[in-house]
Chains A and B, each alone.
Chain A
Amino acid sequence: MGVPLAFPPGTGAGAAPGSPPAIPPGTPALVELQGITKAFPGVLANDAVDLTVMPGEIHALLGENGAGKSTLMNILTGIYQPDAGTIILDGYARALPSPQAAIRAGIGMVHQHFKLVPAFTVAENIHLGWSRTPWRASAAALEARTRALAARFNLAVRPDAVVGDLSAGEQQRVEILRVLARDARLLILDEPTAVLTPAEARELFAALRAFRASGNAVIFISHKLDEVVAIADRISVLRGGRKVATRPAAGADERGLAALMVGHDITLRRARPRAAGTPVSAAPVLELDRVCARDDRGLVALRDVTLALHGGEILGIAGVAGNGQRELSQVVTGMRRVAGGAVRIDGRPVARTGAAAFAAAGIGHIPEDRLRSGLAPDLSVADNAVLREYAGPRVGGGGLFRPWAAARLARTIAADAAVAVPDFGMPIRNLSGGNQQRLVARREIRVAERVLVAAYPSRGLDVGAIDTLLSYLAELRDRGRAVLLFSEEFEEILALADRVAVLFEGRVMGVMPAAEADVETLGLMMGGRGARA
C-alpha cells in the first residue's frame, strides 16, 4: 500500500488529470447494448435492456441482488449469449461468442470473487491463458515482463508474491493489471469496493479516474449509493431484469436512486392496525447485544448489531439487499454462529446453538429463499410439512417417523394455509411458489411460540397471496408474539411494522417508530447516510 496508483495520461492529455476527456461530437459509443434479453428456466434475467457507455465515461450500474446486473455483464464479456438483442462496439454490431472474443474486443472484467489461482505467483496469474505469454516461460522471464507491465500501468504489484498471501486490495490490483495487460478499453468492476478498506478504495478511484482520462471506459457495479454518486459520470439502474433509468451522476440524489432500485411504484398496502388492548411486552423476548457475524466467505457481514424485540410487536428490517439481512436472519434463527456479542432469548443466552435448538425455543423462520433452505423440493408435501415437528410426539417419538402421522399433520397445516393439496405424497415442487410459501409460513407459525423471523415473506407472490401472508403476521402480533420482518419494500414495512431498523453494510443505521418514519429518511439511511435516530 501507499504506492499511488495512476494511469499515464493517454489521449486525454491536456485535460486536468482525472477529469473526463473531451469527446468530439459524433464519436460512437464504446459499447452500446440494444434490447438485450436473456431468460433462464423460470426467470427472465434481462428484459430488453439498453445500455450505452461512451469513451471516457465511468458508468455505474446499480441494482439489488438478482436485478440482472451479473447476467448483463456476463453477456457483455462473452460468457452468456443473449436470447435477443444486439451488442454494438465502436459503432459496429459484434457477436461475442466467447470470453476470449470479448477480451480481444477490449472488454475486461474484474469479478467480485477474484478469478486468480491462489497457489500461483502474481506473474504466473498475469500470464495464465494469455496468447502473448512467451512459449518458453521461465519464472524470471515472467516476473520481468510483469514488472514491465506494472511500471507501464503504474500499478504496484510484487511479481514473485504468491497470490494466496496477498491482501484483497493487492489481489484486486493483480486482477486489474491482468485485464489491462490484455489491452482492455472497457473495464468492468463488480462490487470492487466490497473487499477494500476505505484507503484502498480511494486509491482504486484515483486509478479509475486516470484510466478514464485516457479515453477508456469503466462499468462500475455497486449498490453503495454514496460511492456511485462520487465516482460515476452516469448511473443506470436495473430492477427485476429491466433497466429502469439512466441518469447523469451530477445532480442525482441517493434517495431517488434508492427508490429506483427497490421500486417505488408499488401500491401502498392496507395498513393493519394493532387490535385494541394488545400490549407490547415490557421485557424483550429476543435481544441482540453487539452481535458480529461473518458471511460464507468469511467477510464481516454484521457489525455490533444491537436490537431488542418485544412480544406483540413487529420490527421491520429495511435496507438494500446484501447489507447483512441474510446473516442477521440466520443469526437470530441459530443457523449462523455469531463471531462476537450475544443473542438472548427471554433474557437468557441461548444454551445450545443450532437451528433445531432455536426452533425448540419458539423461534419460527420463514427463510429468504424458500426452495434453497426452507424446503426439500424433491421430497413429498408431507415430508416438507413436518420439517419442524418430525422429532416431536405427533410425528416422531421413540426414534420413529410415522408417515401417516406426518400426512395428518400436513393436512392440518395445508388446511390452515388454505392450500388445496391433491396428493400429500407428491413432491412439493409440484405446488405453485405461492402455495409452497403459504405452507412454509403456516409451518413456521406453528413453532413460533415467541418470535417469527419472516425474511421477505411477500417476495415472488401475487397481490392476494401477499395480503394473506401479511395478515398472518398481524395475527401473530395480536397474539402477543414478536415478528422480525425483513422486507425490501418501504410500504410493506411502514404498513405493518411498529418500529423500523435500517441495515447498511452490516450496521444498524438507526431504529425509529414506523409512525415517524418516512420514505425519504429511510432511503437516505439505506444509502448509508443519516444520523442515528
Chain B
Amino acid sequence: MSWRFQRVPTVPAGAALAGRVGAILAALACVAAVLSLAGLAPARLGAEVIGSAFGSVAGLEDLGLLVTPLILTGIAVALTQRIGLWNIGGEGQFNAGALAATAVGLHAGGDDAWVLPLMALAGAAGGAAWILVPTLARAFAGVSELITTLLLNFVAALLVAWLCTGPWRDPSGRALATTARIPAELPPLGDTLHWGLPAAIAVAILAAGLLAFTRFGYEVRIAGANPGAALYAGIPVRTRIVAVMLLSGAVAGLAGTIELAGTVHRLQGGISNNYGYLGIMVAVLARGSCLGVIAGAVLMAALLNAGIVLQTQGVNTSTVLAITGLILLFTAVGDEIVHYRPVRRTRILG
C-alpha cells in the first residue's frame, strides 16, 4: 500500500485563497530566515517596512505612486492572458508611450486641458504602435509573441536613452540625460499623488467590464479558453487577437504617459523602472483577473516600497529582487499544490 498524489481539476475558492496566503507567508518566512542569518532583525525590519508604507499619509501617497503604473502594466498583461497570449513587452510599450507623450508635451504648447488628453492619446497610440509588429506576426504568421514583444523592450529603452541624451536633451543644460521638464502636469491629489491613480483604477474597471459585459469580451474569453470552441462558434479569432494585443499595448503606453505627466515630468532613461516586467508578476498574482490586478499591484508596490526601506538598512537591491522573486515562485508553487490531494494507490495487477 502506498500513497500518491492525485490532481483535482477544480479548487474551491477558499482553498485557492488559503494557498495564496500560505505561499506568501512561506516566502516571507524564507526571507526572514535569510535576513536573520545576515545578522538583521526580521521582526524590526518588518515593522519598519509596514510602518513606512501604511503608517503615514506621505507613505501611502508614495505607495500610490508605485501602484499607478503597476495597475496599468498589470492590465496590459492580464488582457492578453485572457486570449491565451503573453505580452512580455509592457516595458517597451511603456517607454514608447512615454516617448510619444513627450513628443506632444514638449512641442504642443497651450492649456493642460487639451494638451493632457492629446498626450494620453499619443501615449496609447505609441504603446499600440510598439506592439503592432508582434501582433501581426502572431495573428498572421504564428510567430510567438513572447519573443517578439520581449526583444522590442530593448529597442525602446535604447531609443529613449538616445533621444534624451541626443536630440531632446534639456537645452538649459541643467540636467543631463533627460529632456526639459514637460509643462503639462496631471492635477495633484495630495502632496505627491496625482489623478493618475484614479485613472488607472478606472482603466482596470473598464477592462473588467469590457471582458464581462460586452460581446467582444465574451468572444475574447471563448477564444482564450478554447480556440477550438471559438472556431466551432465562428468567432474570428485572428481579429480578436489583433484587437486585444493592440489594446494591451495602448494600456501599457498609457502607463508610460501617466508616469511621465504625473510623477517624473521628464523623459529620461530608466523611466520605465521595470514597471513593464513587474506588470507580468502583477497579472500572474491576479490570475488574469482585471480587478485582481488592483490588489496585485498594491502587493507589488508594498514589496517595492519594502525594498526601498530595506536598502536604507543595508540590504542591497539584489536581495529585494530576490524577495519578490521568491513570493512569485512560492505563489506559483502554491497554486499548483492546491490542485493535489493524497490518495491511496490502487495497484492494477497484470
**Residues in chain A within 8 A of chain B (CB atoms):** 34-37, 39, 41, 48, 82-86, 334-335, 354-359, 365, 367, 369, 372-379, 383, 387-388, 390-391, 396, 399-403, 426-427, 429-430
Shortest CB distance B229–A (Å): 5
Q: Among B214, B232, B347, which residue has the most Cβ atoms of chain A within 10 A?
A: B232
Shortest CB distance A232–B (Å): 27
A residues in contact with B232, CB < 8 Å: 335, 355, 365, 367, 373-374, 387
**Neighbour of B222 across the interface among A354, A357, A387, A403, CB < 8 A:** A387
The answer to whether A387 touches B233 (Cβ under 8 A) is: yes
The answer to whether A401 touches B234 (Cβ under 8 A) is: no
A residues in contact with B219, CB < 8 Å: 390
> A83-B348, A365-B232 given as contacts; is B221 within 8 A of A403 (CB)?
no
Q: List 14 A-B contacts (CB under 8 A).
A: A37-B350, A84-B348, A85-B350, A356-B233, A359-B234, A367-B232, A373-B228, A374-B232, A376-B226, A378-B225, A390-B218, A399-B215, A400-B215, A429-B10
**Neighbour of B221 across the interface among A36, A383, A388, CB < 8 A:** A383
B residues in contact with A376, CB < 8 Å: 221-222, 225-226, 229
The answer to the question of B235 belonging to the interface, with a C-beta cut-off of 8 Å to chain A, is yes
> A357-B234, A399-B214 given as contacts; is B225 within 8 A of A48 (CB)?
no
In the bound complex, how far is the Cα of B349 from the Cα of A48, in angstroms? 9
The answer to whether B216 touches A399 (Cβ under 8 A) is: yes
B residues in contact with A34, CB < 8 Å: 350
The answer to whether B218 touches A355 (Cβ under 8 A) is: no
Within 8 A of A (CB), among B203-253: 212-219, 221-222, 225-226, 228-229, 231-235
Q: Among A365, A367, A376, which residue has the most Cβ atoms of chain B within 10 A?
A: A376
In the bound complex, how far is the Cα of B225 from the Cα of A36, in angstroms? 36
The answer to the question of B9 belonging to the interface, with a C-beta cut-off of 8 Å to chain A, is yes
Main secondary structure of the interface of B (DSSP, over half): helix
Task: Name the residue of chain A whose CB is nearest to the CB of B226.
Answer: A376
Within 8 A of A (CB), among B315-350: 347-350
Chain B residue total in the interface (Cβ 8 A): 26
B residues in contact with A426, CB < 8 Å: 10
**Neighbour of A84 across the interface among B212, B213, B228, B349, CB < 8 A:** B349
CB-based closest 3 A-B pairs: A356-B234, A84-B350, A355-B234
5 additional A-B residue pairs with CB within 8 Å, beyond A334-B234, A388-B233, A429-B10: A358-B234, A359-B234, A377-B225, A396-B218, A403-B213
Task: Name the residue of chain A whose CB is nearest to the CB of B224.
Answer: A376
B residues in contact with A359, CB < 8 Å: 233-234
Task: Name the residue of chain B whose CB is nearest to the CB of A336.
Answer: B231
Q: Among B215, B219, B234, which residue has the most Cβ atoms of chain A within 10 A?
A: B234
A residues in contact with B229, CB < 8 Å: 373-376, 387
In the bound complex, how far is the Cα of B312 from the Cα of A331, in angstroms? 68
Task: Name the residue of chain B whose CB is nearest to the CB of A365.
Answer: B232
In the bound complex, how far is the Cα of B243 from the Cα of A500, in angstroms? 46
Q: Among B7, B228, B229, which residue has the most Cβ atoms of chain A within 10 A?
A: B229
The answer to whether B215 touches A354 (Cβ under 8 A) is: no
Shortest CB distance B244–A (Å): 15
In the bound complex, how far is the Cα of B348 from the Cα of A335, in angstroms? 42
In the bound complex, how far is the Cα of B86 from the Cα of A509, in angstroms? 48
Task: Name the residue of chain A whose CB is nearest to the CB of B231.
Answer: A335
In the bound complex, how far is the Cα of B215 from the Cα of A75, in angstroms? 47
In the bound complex, how far is the Cα of B348 from the Cα of A85, in angstroms? 9
The answer to whether A383 touches B218 (Cβ under 8 A) is: yes
> A376-B225, A401-B214 given as contacts; is B231 within 8 A of A355 (CB)?
yes
A residues in contact with B235, CB < 8 Å: 356
